[in-house]
Amino acid sequence: MKKYSYLALGDSYTIGEQVPLFENFPYQAVQLLRKKYGHLFYAPEIVAKTGWTTDELTTSIDNTVFLPKYDNVSLLIGVNNQYRGRSVENYKEEFSLLLKKAIAFAGGNHQKVFVLSIPDWGITPFAKERDAEKIAKEIDDYNNACRQIAEQEKCIFIDITASQRADGSSPIYLATDELHPSGNEYAKWAEKLADNIAASIT
């Protein structure tokens, strides 16, 4: 029986800032793929760090030694670009480059690359002094670009922003910093990701 590999690329949302390792969404997704679908999976390989922007993730990728290829690759990046006030045009350029790298990691199989939408940190208690409406609009602009590029490359786009916005101010879905998600929120993302990965396994 084949054992599958999975590479997760991103920022704090991918490593699961403030939560135990096993509660981040890549680990929860692998657990679901094992338990719910009966697939054999290695532990996810994660290249992500809190605060990373698209260019910082690219730099890290260029300095990391990877396997020749992975059966599945996820990419969730962009919130720190928005946070730092960078333009959507700049994001498009750098995200396109990252997505091409992700596709290459998947052995050129576009349908094995899963792009997750960017969460809206503006609805969290952490952002109560900020302009939530402005943040939401900018996140929407980023996500529209993200979706468009993912679809152009024929990758799988997974929207987690809508449910995160619904949960974002509820304590059970927040980590102690009142900014990052808790394991409960990551569980929702993991389920969407696991379902999509399972559907791609033939």
How far apart, in whole angstroms, are the C-alpha atoms of residue 21 and residue 125?
23
Give residue 30's pLDDT: 98
**pLDDT given at position 168:** 83
Per DSSP, the three-state class of 10 is: strand
What is the tens place of the pLDDT at every residue in 158-200?
999 999 999 988 999 999 999 999 999 999 999 999 999 999 9
CATH number at residue 164: 3.40.50.1110
Q: Count other C-beta atoms under 10 Å from residue 200's C-beta.
A: 15
Structure confidence at residue 202 (pLDDT): 73
Spatial CA neighbour of 165 closest among 149, 181, 146: 181
Other CB atoms within a 10 A radius of the CB of residue 52 amount to 23
C-alpha–C-alpha distance, residues 116 and 129, integer Å: 27
- Please write the tens of the pLDDT for every residue from 59-75: 999 999 999 999 999 99
The mean pLDDT of the chain is 97
Total of domains in the chain:
1
Structural domain boundaries enclosing 69: 3-200
Kindly list the averaged pLDDT for each block of 10 residues, start to end, along the chain of length 202. 96 97 98 98 98 98 97 98 98 98 98 98 94 97 98 98 93 96 98 98 83
| CA trace torsion 136, 161, 180, 96 (10° rounding) | -90
Q: Cα(61)–Cα(79) distance, rounded to whole angstroms? A: 18
pLDDT score recorded for residue 3: 97
Q: Under DSSP, is residue 137 helix (H, G, I), strand (E, B) or coil?
A: helix
